[in-house]
């Protein structure tokens, strides 16, 4: 199947959801060679992915993944990575603040892509045990409202934003917000307009928003630079303690998006104030310490 799929992609033809799912199955079964996988990915990237292709491949990967049994509504905050901007790990801090504000957050992420330390690197550096079994993640979620799994979703390429939102809706995701900072960051930006693809009720609405719309002042991207894993861990702790500045502001903005998607806030401006109150009360810093303590006691 992968040979036929490569030929179709090279010819500029789109794959159906079923074919994309079958190709991914072949790759995960080890039936495709490294050269075939490389050719498939290159041809797909050159043609441009469709929502059906993304959905089909994701469907296969989800079917083969380890499942965490949970009840109720969960929110995830994550960027795709690859923006190369080297900013602080915004989605991780936003996930902790959102959990402290009352959302149940299943944070997924990984090691570094190209923009700096990934969520897994930073959480591990502050003491969170990330290599948990599905049962361990389930218990951590139940006790703390936060679990790490190795969907406000940020993209580093605006051409895939709408496709990603549509693909999220195909498996039945009730609400999602896909964001692209016009300054090139894969999250809601504090230094530029943000393009948003807002999935709700099976329909995707596209709009742009500015930091000022949420009651925040603009800052330069250089003001939210990260650095090493250790530096990002230090910045994360400072943000959760309420250290003022652009780094805190960008986390408040992205937390607000999670609170809107999770139904805790009606608007981004309301979400920012809710997130700010959560940080100022000490609940966000306490939530991180709780997650560290609970996760270290699990397998």
Amino acid 256: pLDDT: 97
Higher pLDDT: 116 or 22? It is 22
Reported as a single tens digit per residue, the pLDDT across 133-159 is 889 989 999 999 998 765 567 777 888
Domains of the chain (ranges; CATH) run: 2-64 (1.20.970.10), 77-292 (3.40.1030.10)
The pTM score is 0.87
Kindly tell me if the per-residue pLDDT of 20 is higher than 80: yes
Alpha helices in 182-226 (DSSP H): none
Local confidence band at 173 (pLDDT 50, 70, 90 cut-offs): confident
Reported as a single tens digit per residue, the pLDDT across 238-278 is 999 999 999 999 999 999 999 999 999 999 999 999 999 99
Segment 97-118 mean pLDDT: 80
DSSP result, 253-296 = HHHHHHHHHTTS-SSHHHHHHHHHHHHHTTHHHHHHHHHHHHHH
Tell me the C-alpha distance between 14 and 116, whole Å: 33
């Amino acid at each position: 199947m992968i040979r036929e799929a490569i030929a179709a992609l090279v010819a500029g033809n789109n794959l159906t959801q079923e074919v994309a799912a079958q190709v991914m199955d072949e790759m995960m079964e080890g039936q495709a060679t490294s050269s075939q996988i490389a050719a498939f990915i290159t041809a797909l990237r050159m043609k441009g992915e469709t929502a059906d292709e993304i959905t089909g491949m994701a469907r296969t990967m989800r079917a083969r993944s380890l499942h965490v049994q949970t009840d109720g509504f969960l929110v995830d905050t994550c960027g795709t990575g690859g923006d190369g901007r080297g900013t602080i790990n915004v989605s991780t801090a936003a996930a902790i603040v959102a959990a402290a504000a009352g959302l149940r957050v299943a944070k997924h992420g990984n090691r570094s892509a190209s923009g700096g330390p990934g969520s897994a690197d930073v959480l591990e550096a502050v003491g969170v045990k990330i290599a948990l079994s599905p049962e361990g993640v389930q218990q951590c979620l139940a006790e703390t409202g936060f679990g790490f799994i190795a969907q406000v979703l940020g993209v580093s390429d605006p051409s895939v934003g709408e496709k990603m939102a549509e693909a999220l809706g195909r498996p039945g995701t009730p609400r999602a917000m896909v964001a692209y900072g016009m300054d090139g960051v894969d999250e809601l930006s504090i230094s530029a307009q943000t393009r948003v693809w807002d999935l709700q009720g099976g329909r995707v609405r596209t709009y742009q928003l500015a930091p000022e719309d949420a009651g925040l002042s603009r800052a330069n991207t250089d003001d939210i630079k990260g650095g090493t894993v250790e530096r990002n861990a230090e910045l994360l702790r400072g943000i959760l303690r309420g250290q003022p500045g652009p780094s805190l502001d960008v986390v408040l903005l992205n937390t607000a998006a999670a609170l809107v998607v999770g139904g805790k806030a009606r608007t981004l401006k309301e979400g920012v104030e809710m997130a700010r109150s959560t940080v100022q009360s000490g609940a966000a810093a306490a939530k991180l310490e709780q997650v560290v303590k609970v996760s270290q006691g699990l397998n």
